[in-house]
Amino acid sequence: MTRTELFPPIEPYDHGKLPVDGIHIMYWEQAGNPDGVPVLFLHGGPGAGASPDHRRFFDPAHYRIVIFDQRGAGRSTPLGELKDNSTPLLIKDIEKLRQQLGIKQWLVFGGSWGSTLALAYGEAHPECCLGFILRGIFLCRPKEIDWFLYGLQTFFPEVWYEFASRLPAEDRRDILTAYYRLLTHPDPDVHFPAAKAWSRYEGSCSTLLPNPEVMNHFTDNTVALGLAKIEAHYFKHNIFLPENSLLDNIHTLHHLPGVIVQGRYDAVCPITSAYDLHLAWPQAEYIVVDGAGHSAWEPGIRAELVKATEKFKQII
């Protein structure tokens, strides 16, 4: 019988801090089987950081589970730092960590922004990848950013109004610029309330039904500050990649196994992006979870992600 439940909580057997340049220091950890198949977990946001429960998608007897917090996120320092923080630099960080840990190839697992970074990394270094498990696909195209900032009011008008009403009416025509100005203000009394509002907005729209546990995660002070500042920074710069580059270069992954898991009613990253990826990468298995929104903790999505990690035990 195929397993669909998370594995029991575990602690890392190894962890550390890796300086990646003169500013940023990356937190990383390893859990599970030191001699197992390496799997890299990429958290969302960008800027949200990883949590202990993320280790639980993987069979600790089979996998060598590698998790890190991306620049400016979670336990990496400095928290919320935007200088020298870009997608190409995150890709370099992943490679630096892979080499530091002596890993030749690994399975890459990422959801939401983690799916974006997984694709960007895989297209840059396909020779280092065993395959991909991707959830809640975000390709960071202009229409997807516009949907996040404005389109969500179609389904969450009250939540959107609370988010937008922090801005003067004239600034609501360009929410991203207005929030970016607040989030990068040096005064914590200015940037911190803006960060909490941004993160609360995203968290409120991430599940099909209200979920207090998900909201507690998004309103955590560290998560909110890292998520809001870095997310706005990446959106403002179109994730520092050429437009549509992820789909344009997906052919470089056609020879690798992949699983795409998408909630039918994902409001944060609508299913159209996952379907576009499916059309461009038909070799990957495409799984739509009816009755689910965006979050990895939606029961149906959580079950499919565990099933995918179990399936890969037979593939790689």
pLDDT of residue 194: 96
pLDDT of residue 208: 94
Distance CA 234, CA 138 (A): 13
Which carries the bigger pLDDT value, residue 216 or residue 50? 50
Which carries the bigger pLDDT value, residue 268 or residue 213? 268
pLDDT at 30 over 80: yes
pLDDT at 308 over 80: yes
- Structural domains for the chain: 14-140+240-315 (3.40.50.1820), 143-239 (no CATH)
pLDDT in tens, 129-146: 999 999 999 999 999 999
Instruction: Calculate mean pLDDT across residues 288-311.
Output: 97
Instruction: Calculate mean pLDDT across residues 70-77.
Output: 97
Q: Which of 76, 112, 204, 273 is catalytic?
A: 112
Is 273 annotated as catalytic?
Answer: no
pLDDT of residue 301: 98
User: DSSP secondary structure string, 21-85?
Assistant: SSS-EEEEEEEE-TTSEEEEEE-STTTT---GGGGGGS-TTTEEEEEEPPTTSTTSBSTT--TT-
Residue 297's nearest CA partner among 72, 30, 51, 59 is 51
Is 43 annotated as catalytic?
Answer: no
Compute the mean pLDDT over every residue in the chain, rounded to the nearest whole number: 97
pLDDT at 1 over 90: no
Spatial strand order of the sheet with 63-68 comes to: 14-19, 25-32, 63-68, 37-42, 106-111, 129-135, 258-263, 285-289
pLDDT in tens, 74-124: 999 999 999 999 999 999 999 999 999 999 999 999 999 999 999 999 999
CB 206, CB 244: distance < 8 Å: no
In terms of pTM, does the model score above 0.85? Answer: yes
Taking CA atoms, 154 is separated from 150, 177, 194, 225, 272, in Å, by 8, 21, 22, 26, 16
Question: Which token pair is 192?
Answer: 């911190």
pLDDT in tens, 274-298: 999 999 999 999 999 999 999 999 9
Q: Which of 266, 273, 278, 295 is catalytic?
A: 266
Question: Which token pair is 177?
Answer: 């610029």
Q: Compute the chain's Rg from CA coordinates.
A: 18
pLDDT band for position 2 (cuts 50, 70, 90): confident
pLDDT in tens, 146-172: 999 999 999 999 999 999 999 999 999
Is 15 annotated as catalytic?
Answer: no
- Per DSSP, 125 falls in state -
Q: Which of 93, 204, 294, 295 is catalytic?
A: 294
